[in-house]
A = this chain, B = another copy of it.
């Protein structure tokens, strides 16, 4: 099946995210979540319905189909993972990480995503806790030079 547009992915993800905390899903909620007007939502939901990703009872509630749920979860997973990488590894602020993740999630390749996920996990599972080299990076980012203890702590032979 043809790939979803960025916009449709956003709508699908919004429905998914809303469903995590809300019992029912309405057009108005989606509009609020995405900062668009309700006719835009109706339009998008129509297109998602055509593709069998959403079920929408007229004037009533919305639901993801199985396929819709899976796709939505996939998109949202990417979002979460890009966010984590930006925030935890690169040290980008919370808000900006979220915003960037929201855009990038639609475009990043499987391969890059995989490396980001692994990188984040590499940091998170570091045997020594928060890795020394990442401390050193933060120092470098702040001061523009490697800390004096850098060589010592990282030399391998």
Contacts and interface: CB of A to CB of B under 8 A. Distances in A.
Nearest to A136: B122
How many copies are assembled? Answer: 2
A69 B119 CA distance: 36
Nearest to A135: B156
Interface stretch (A16-24, A29-37, A126-134): A126-134
Contacts of A146: 122, 125-127
Interface string A91-130: 1110011011001100111011001101101100111100
Interface of A: 86, 90-93, 96-97, 99-100, 103-104, 107-109, 111-112, 115-116, 118-119, 121-122, 125-128, 131-133, 135-137, 140-141, 146, 149-151, 153-156
